[in-house]
Amino acid sequence: MSSESLVSIALGLGLSAACGFRVFVPLLAVSAAANLGYVQVSPGFSWMATTPALVAFGTATALEVAAYYVPWLDNFLDAVATPAAVLAGVIASASVFVGMPALGRWSAALIGGGGAAGLIQSATVLLRIKSLATTGGLGNPVVSTAELVGSTVTSVLAIAIPILCLTLLVVGSILVFRNAG
């Protein structure tokens, strides 16, 4: 496996994990990075490096972020966001898995990208439920802010330092699961 493929896999999995926090933040980040020429997109994903895609992802991100601060809407969005996060994780990872044959790219995107997004999204849903149960929903804006920060930081790290981002995600996951039991 080439170093380019390894970096693109780390980038894709980092972006996918970020989709578990917020669906559209990582898609906005990859679109912006591709527009600036900082990230190369896979064949078939050149549309992500266009101005209309950047505007669409920016609008979707703003609406998603705002909606999570509406008390009753945040819990409803979690039900819709779970499958959307998995799909976004697949798209985010497939879009940056460069230098891979199509079968390998889509297999890795479905398993790794969708899995990473689904794992993080499931954890955030459980955290929001716990917040609702313990604070009556008053703590949900704090959870929403933490999710936004998590998605933004993970997206930026994935683009800027993909191998470090993936390493931190793996170590963080190990620590969370070790302490959950």
Give the model's pLDDT for residue 41: 96
Where exactly are the structural domains of the chain? 3-168
- The predicted-structure confidence for 93-107, as pLDDT tens digits, reads as follows 999 999 889 999 999
Q: What is the pLDDT of residue 129?
A: 86
Task: Provide the mean pLDDT of the chain.
Answer: 92
Q: Is the pLDDT of residue 84 over 90?
A: yes
Alpha helices in the chain (DSSP H): 3-21, 25-35, 51-67, 71-96, 102-108, 114-135, 140-160, 162-180
pLDDT of residue 23: 96
pTM for the model: 0.92
User: Contact at 8 Å (CB) between 10 and 83?
Assistant: no
pLDDT at 162: 95
CA distance linking residue 3 with residue 58, whole number of Å: 31
Q: pLDDT digits over 123-176, tens only? A: 888 888 888 889 988 888 999 999 999 999 999 999 999 999 999 988 988 887
Band (64; pLDDT cuts 50, 70, 90): very high
pLDDT value, residue 181: 54
Query: Cα dist. 101→95, 111, 124, 158 in Å?
Result: 13, 16, 33, 22
Average pLDDT over residues 45-62: 97
- Is residue 180 very low, low, confident or very high in pLDDT (cuts 50, 70, 90)? low
* Amino acid 70: pLDDT: 87
Find the distance separating the first CA and the last CA of the chain, reported in whole Å.
35
